Structure 1
Amino acid sequence: MATALVVGAGIAGLATALRLSRSTWEVVMLDHGTHPNPVPLKGPDLHAAKRLAALPYPLHYETRHSKVTALHPDRFGVTVAFNDHDDEWFDIVVCAQPCCEAERLPGLRLESWSRDHVALLYRAVRDTGIPLCAAELLADAFDIHLDDHDAFAWWETTLKPHTVRRAFTRVR
């Protein structure tokens, strides 16, 4: 079974974890909260989850409150270092919020949202403004493509037309 680490328990991270778990991925979700219980669904996240028909879907993923300290991609996946326990290996890592300077991975281009088994979902959400669609398309990519490089390429190509062009104004 393929394993995924999703960093960030906001709406994009939650949607990604739900969608991947529906496709038989084993998902670990990280939240920086300090409470020992799973992150409660409330407010906009609860409403979005209901619209996605996620509830009462049985959520088969583990929620942790660790912090990622480093990502070490290799040919087959990513070894993730944590602040409070031993390193673990995952097939993919989805950063639904910034984690451990993931953008500084070797070869990650500024215009890229993915590289070396790592998806920078928070950047795609920032650039498109559509968190649920970005999360859903990312999981769709793994249903369509067996190779994660192909999946990431399809995800970026499919989502790029929705990139919002931001105008910068100079403040005097």
Structure 2
Amino acid sequence: MATALVVGAGIAGLATALRLTRSAWEVVVLDHGAHHDPVPLRGPDLHAARRLAALPYPLHYETRHSTVTALQPDRFGVTVPFNDHDDEWFDIVVCAQPCCEADRLPGLRLDSWSREHVALLYRAVRDTGIPLCAAELLADAFDIHHDDHAAFSWWETTLKPHSVRRTFTRVR
């Protein structure tokens, strides 16, 4: 059985956990217990929410309040050291919130949403503004492709057209 660590129990993290569970993944969700404001659902996210709610699979995951101290990818997955217990190995790590030194992985491109078995879901959500769609498409990618590299590539290619161009106005 494939294993996934999902860091963040907000809407994108839980949607990812739910969708991976449906595909028979064993999922661990890290949650620090912070409650977030409700996220308004409209457009593609509303459609994704209806699809996710219609799934007959219960969400079974282990919730932990640990902190990830690093990510150590290898050819097959990611070894994850935690602050309060032994290291664990996962097939993939999904960062649904800025976490776990993911941005500091050697060679990680600043414009990348994924690298070496690690999906930076929070970046995709920030860039598109559609958390449920980004989460559901990520899990769809693993249903379609058995290779992580191909799955991440398909996910990024499918989601990139929905990136929101942000323009910043400088206040003087």
TM-score scaled by length of structure 1: 0.89
1:110 maps to what in 2? 110
Gaps (5+ residues) in structure 2?
Answer: 41-45
Deviates more, 1:61-70 or 1:133-142: 61-70
1:71 maps to what in 2? 71
How far did 1:43 drift? 5.3
How far did 1:101 drift? 1.9
How far did 1:55 drift? 7.5
1:29 maps to what in 2? 29
Aligned pairs, how many? 164
What letter is aligned with 2:105? L
On the 8 A contact 1:144/1:151 being kept in 2, the answer is yes
Deviations 1:23-71 (A, max 9, x none): 000000000128xxxx9xx9559xx797321687422211111111110
1:149 maps to what in 2? 149
1:116–1:72 Cα change, 3 Å:
same
Gaps (5+ residues) in structure 1?
Answer: none
TM-score scaled by length of structure 2: 0.89
Aligned-partner Cα distance in 2 for 1:107–1:143: 27
1:43–1:54 Cα change, 3 Å:
farther
Higher strand share: 1
How far did 1:163 drift? 0.3
How far did 1:138 drift? 0.1
Matched, 1:3 2:3: yes
Matched, 1:13 2:13: yes
Q: Specify the SS of the correspondent of 2:32.
A: coil
RMSD: 2.1
Q: Specify the SS of the correspondent of 2:151.
A: helix
On the 8 A contact 2:22/2:57 being kept in 1, the answer is no
Dislocated runs of 4+, deviation >3 Å: 42-45, 48-51, 54-57
On the 8 A contact 1:93/1:118 being kept in 2, the answer is yes
Deviations 1:105-145 (A, max 9, x none): 11111111000100000000000000000000000000000
On the 8 A contact 1:18/1:54 being kept in 2, the answer is no
2:122 maps to what in 1? 122
1:91–1:61 Cα change, 3 Å:
same
Aligned-partner Cα distance in 1 for 2:114–2:57: 29
2:43 maps to what in 1? none
On the 8 A contact 2:78/2:91 being kept in 1, the answer is yes
Aligned-partner Cα distance in 2 for 1:69–1:170: 36
Matched, 1:101 2:97: no
Aligned-partner Cα distance in 2 for 1:130–1:29: 20
What letter is aligned with 2:75? R
Deviations 1:141-162 (A, max 9, x none): 0000000000000000000000
